[in-house]
Amino acid sequence: MSKVLVIAEHDGTNLNGSTARAVSCASDLGLDAIDVVVLASDGSSVAEQAAKLTGVTKVLLVQNPANEHAVAAFLAPQIESLAADYSHVLAPSTTFGKDLMPRVAAHLGRPQISDIMRVESAMVFDRPVYAGNAIVTVEAPEGLVVGTVRTASYKAVSNDGAASVETRSVDVNLPSHTRFVELQSGGGDRPDLQAASKVVSGGRGVGSEENFKVIYSLADKLGAGVGASRAAVDAGFIPNDHQVGQTGKIIAPDLYMAFGISGAIQHLAGIKDAGTIVAVNKDADAPIFEVADFGLVADLFEVAEELEKAL
């Protein structure tokens, strides 16, 4: 029996939308069952949410005080213990998955297939290379498949499922050389960048950290997440957890608004799957206009102000 185990991403209370996208990829494998594992300190509410994902057969709830925070060094040994019953182990290719899955693959002694964007068969996958400018088809070697799912390439499954929830006890020795210190986040109450349906981003053209208030204000009016180009992050205008692009976060919102972003290739790699791209830039030759659905050559501050008034 071939089964896939999807690692749930959550904050201890709410299931991250990336999990539903990873389940969508798992469905394309055409295997006998899709199980989701929730590793948490108290994950009953998260498990209930995971059980509603369409296509999920069973939810495994592994509760351990060490799982209060998503520390890869603690989660990986537990996943290794569970993986023996599965042919595939998948997680979203988010910050969470990129941190966790290489360690899982190392524990299992298996190569990892990163950023799966299309399933050709149970062992053959498409993934992007060269900042998304080329797609390669790779075949996994015989045995357990470990991979991360490029969430921007998949739509989330619906929530009309009714999977069973099974509490599991995993007896493994957790490392003592690693400990959780603190979590710092600059996102505030705004939507998570990788799960937001609308994102407003600023680039070097915004000019300063102080000027980024314009981006935050417009995003709040729209109920949007806030993103940035690498140039804006490197200049210190905004914390790096907002960076969108090949070396930042790959996102696929329904609406992406770029203010003062020229459109370097690494940034475009992070937004290629967005539904609608709106670009505002004073430079009519900015590369971002080549991918934008709507482009406006104008002063970004004037446009942002007018948009806020209209909203």
CATH classification of the domain holding 121: 3.40.50.620
Q: In terms of domains, do 231 and 142 share one?
A: no
Q: What is the rounded average pLDDT of the residues 288-306? A: 96
Q: Which long-range contacts (CB under 8 A, 24 or more apart) does 26-32 make?
A: 26/55, 26/88, 26/90, 26/149, 27/55, 27/157, 28/118, 28/119, 29/4, 29/88, 29/119, 29/122, 30/122, 31/2, 31/3, 31/4, 31/87, 31/88, 31/122, 32/1, 32/2, 32/3
pLDDT digits (tens, 9 = 90+) for 154-171: 999 999 999 999 999 998
For residue 66, what pLDDT is reported?
Answer: 93
Average model confidence (pLDDT) across the chain: 94
Q: Are residues 53 and 161 in contact, defined by beta-carbon separation less than 8 angstroms?
A: yes
Do 225 and 119 fall into the same domain? no
- Asked whether residue 185 is domain-assigned, the answer is no
Instruction: Grade residue 184 by pLDDT with cuts at 50, 70 and 90.
Output: confident
Q: How many domains does the chain have?
A: 2
pLDDT of residue 286: 96
85 is a domain residue: yes
- What's the confidence (pLDDT) of residue 211? 96
The pLDDT, as a whole number, for residue 187 is: 55
Classify the C-alpha dihedral 3-6-12-17 as positive or negative: negative
Q: Is residue 184 assigned to a domain? A: no
Residue pair 101/111 in contact (Cβ under 8 Å)? The answer is no
Question: In this predicted structure, what is the pLDDT of residue 132?
Answer: 78
Task: Please determine, for residue 186, whether its predicted confidence score (pLDDT) is greater than 70.
Answer: no
| Residues 49 and 125 reside in one and the same domain | yes
In a shared domain, residues 153 and 233 = no
Q: pLDDT confidence of 16, banded at 50, 70, 90?
A: very high
Q: Pick the closest to residue 224 from 188, 249, 248, 260 (CA basis).
A: 188
pTM equals: 0.84
Statement to judge: residues 241 and 96 lie in one domain: no
Is the pLDDT confidence value at 1 over 90? Answer: no
Model confidence over 55-79: pLDDT tens digits? 999 999 999 999 999 999 999 999 9
Residue pointed to by tokens 């998948």: 90
Domain boundary among 168, 183, 213: 168
Query: Is 230 within the bounds of a domain?
Result: yes
What residues contact residue 304 under an 8 Å CB cut-off, 6+ apart? 214, 215, 217, 218, 259, 280
Tell me the C-alpha distance between 185 and 33, whole Å.
36
pLDDT tens digit string along 108-140?
Answer: 999 999 999 999 999 999 999 887 789 999 999
Q: Are residues 39 and 128 in the same domain?
A: yes
Residue pLDDT, tens place only, 191-216: 888 888 999 999 999 999 999 999 99
**Per-residue three-class SS string for the chain:** CCEEEEECCECCCCECHHHHHHHHHHHHCCCCEEEEEEEECCCHHHHHHHHCCCCCCEEEEEECHHHCCCCHHHHHHHHHHHHHHCCEEEEECCHHHHHHHHHHHHHHCCCEEEEECEECCCCEEEEEECCCCEEEEEECCCCCEEEEECHHHCCCCCCCCCCEEEEECCCCCCCCCCCCCCCCCCCCCCCCCCCCCEEEEECHHHCCCHHHHHHHHHHHHHCCEEEECHHHHHCCCCCHHHEECCCCECCCCCEEEEECCCCCHHHHCCCCCCCEEEEEECCCCCHHHHCCCEEEECCHHHHHHHHHHHC
Domain-terminating residue out of 168, 190, 210: 168
Q: Are residues 122 and 213 in the same domain?
A: no
Any idea what the CATH number is for the domain that residue 295 is in? 3.40.50.1220
Residue 268 lies in domain:
198-310
Q: Is residue 101 part of a domain?
A: yes
pLDDT at 26 over 60: yes
